[in-house]
Amino acid sequence: SRRLKLNRLHPQHRMLVRRAIVYLVVLTTVMWSLRLLGVGMSVVLGTAGILTVAIGFAAQTSASNLISGLFLMGERPFVIGDTIKVADVQGEVVSIDLLSVKVRTFDNLLVRIPNETMLKSNVTTLTAYPLRRYDLQIGVAYKESIAKVKKVLREVAEANPVCLDEPKPSILFQSFGDSQINFQFSVWAVRDNYVKLRNEIAEQVKAAFDAAGIEIPFPHRTLYTGSVTEPFPVRVVPEPPPKESTPDSADASADAP
């Protein structure tokens, strides 16, 4: 029955309970061994006090991480199994210890992040909510009809089975760029389908734009020379004909080492 109760606990709590039991067993074993050796408890406590002061001065960083770990466990901004992003590290939380948090990245690397760093950093929990939104930045040529662009994007969202109807997809005008009109195409998906939606939607938008004849332009630049804006004269220079090999040159190349 105790095992069943332990299994019902959250994985993070199970880990803490097991480690607390291990520490308690080790401490009890050490105290019992010292007592068998005839070492007095007053000596043990005095030595422990001196060691505590010495370790406290030498391990200020560890103490800070320990306190930060207690705050993290109390606040619980994420739990074991969540996907988080801290600075340039993104992955699944596999362990929350008193001194650090261990994250397994998507390329199967184990990253240890000190608790003090976690407490001072902006931590994004990517799996906190069941739905996620993907924002696709799109630029179209100035000659294109904005109404046509929005119509094609709506059709792409409706045709994608992963894209949710609620919340509705949105198409936001962002800015007039140097060579294009910039839009943000936002679509929603269930958290488990987010990666699939992100991979599919860009390809589908490109295919739909090609089918509708909507141009995604290259960067354009207009050069002005002084006050006159006449076009530069352009002259096409033909390529020179290839040189014909002569017998003398062939013999010279054959004699060359």
pLDDT tens by residue, 198-253: 999 999 999 999 999 999 998 867 666 666 556 667 677 787 777 766 655 555 55
Say yes or no to pLDDT of 160 above 70.
yes
Find the DSSP H helices in 121-228.
Answer: 146-159, 194-212
Domain 74-125 and domain 131-212 have a common topology: no
CA distance 192 to 21: 36
What is the CATH architecture assignment of 131-212?
A: 2-Layer Sandwich (3.30)
What is the CATH architecture assignment of 74-125?
A: Roll (2.30)
Domain boundaries, the chain: 2-58, 74-125, 131-212
Say yes or no to pLDDT of 95 above 80.
yes
Tell me which DSSP letter residue 167 carries.
Answer: S
CA distance 3 to 113: 31
pLDDT digits (tens, 9 = 90+) for 47-73: 666 666 656 655 667 778 778 888 888
